[in-house]
Amino acid sequence: MTNLPIILPRAEHHISRKQFDEMTLKVLYRLRGQNFKAYLVGGCVRDLLLNRIPKDFDVATDATPSQVKKLFRNCFLVGRRFRLAHIRFGSEVVEVATFRRHAHADDLPEDPADHHHFRENVFGTPEEDASRRDFTINALFYDIDSFAIIDYVGGLRDLAERRIKMIGDPLIRYQEDPVRMLRALEFAARLDFTLDPATYDGILHCAPLVATAAPARVREELQNLFRYGIAGAVLRSASETQLLAPLLGGYQADETTLRLLDASDQRTAQGEPAASEGFALSLLFASAFVQKSAKLNTLSEALPLSSTLLAGHCEHFHIASGIRHQARELLLALFRYLRGPGQRGEKRFLVHAAAQPGFELFRLYLAASGEGDELLNRWQQHLERHRQPDTKLAGSEETPKGPRKRKRRRGGKKRPAAAAAE
């Protein structure tokens, strides 16, 4: 049975084509000009309705990928599991997806090995496509032909009521893709929305399933939390719903860690660059490292501890040794700063690449742990006294030196004047 969609005509919403990317408009107009349906879909429609700037614009159409390719010479088909058309305009790419539907039993090929890829590429109607998406607020269409918003799943109501609601039965949808549980928490934090009760309860029931998700995908979603400045809010909600440990391979966060993440998010919200993956790792493990290293006296004792703390997480998520090394150096810098100024090897440490980001980690940790400002003030005064006029903390270039004298070459022939002038 087909449900009649809610149609919001142009006069009843504020979205204008002036807000669209120029290349996206070209794609929409050409599809419409060839009598295909051409819709904007997903997060861009949601964000425009919320007066937010979309990260990108996604196009949905009833044209098949091969038909899209025939319309655009600059089109490249990508993906085996989920076939998409990428239309390239220089460095810019407009992604075009064909409306999909859930595959029926009689649609599937005889060989079960082909079912996984086939079921993702069964084409359907806009209504069927909307029903396959994750949350109602991400399943809204903008029709370039009528300039209307089309809603098959109640997304406009949930948008107005600031609610994250799963399309369909959350228990089934989370089993299909456990990462949707993390995305539900992410959207709630990003948009300052609440979770629909069934969507929330589904996380409580299905939380252990997230351990089966691909580590690479979880790793990317985790780094997105730092990019958006919502790591503290999302991981706090993940901890409350018992999602955190299976999500991060058994990882647990204490209250100091969550406050530390909040402090980092606040820094990002104020316009500072988002935490790199190495810095994010140091934030996740700083509290545990400080607690376990409290009775250690030397850097050589703290070194194996930092490596051990990071090892399990980095191996689980296949994090490169270079990023692991950055996180370890930041934890060791934190150890140095917590011991106070005037320690052995300090002069060499303060020109190390980890000194400046390590000081930022130290500053954030003191604020999160509530240990007071006395040690921070001591360090600031100490650094001011010892900072040279033309140098900065590590990470900057060294003070320019005078021209280096060329060494005289021993033996050999004298270079011709013409060669010397080149």
Determine which one of 58, 62, 143, 196 is catalytic: 58
- Nearest CA among 145, 129, 53 for reference residue 96: 129
Q: Is 40 helix (H, G, I), strand (E, B) or coil?
A: strand
- The answer to whether residues 347 and 244 touch, using CB atoms and an 8 Å cutoff, is no
Residue 365: name the closest of 288, 299, 287 by CA.
287
DSSP string, 136-171: GGG-EEEETTT--EEESSSHHHHHHTTEE-BSS-HH
Q: What is the CB-side half-sphere exposure of residue 386 using CA atoms within 13 A? A: 15
Active-site annotation holds for 47:
no
In 259-356, at which residue ranges do the beta strands (DSSP E only) sit? none
Give the torsion sign (CA, 274, 278, 280, 283).
negative
Catalytic residue among 47, 62, 129, 134: 134
Residues in the chain: 422
139: nearest Cα among 10, 6, 32, 14: 6
Under a CB-based contact definition with an 8 Å cutoff, are residues 44 and 25 in contact?
no
DSSP notation for 265-307: HHHHHTTPPPPPHHHHHHHHHHHHHHHHTTT--SHHHHHHHHH
Is 134 an active-site residue? yes
- Which of the residues 21, 56, 177, 201 is marked catalytic? 56
Please tell me the distance from the alpha carbon of residue 172 to that of residue 194, in angstroms, as a whole number.
Answer: 21
In sequence order, what are the beta bridge partners of 151? 6, 140
Closest CA to 176 of 124, 212, 126, 137: 212
Q: Is 58 in the active site? A: yes
Give catalytic residues, as residue numbers. Answer: 56, 58, 134
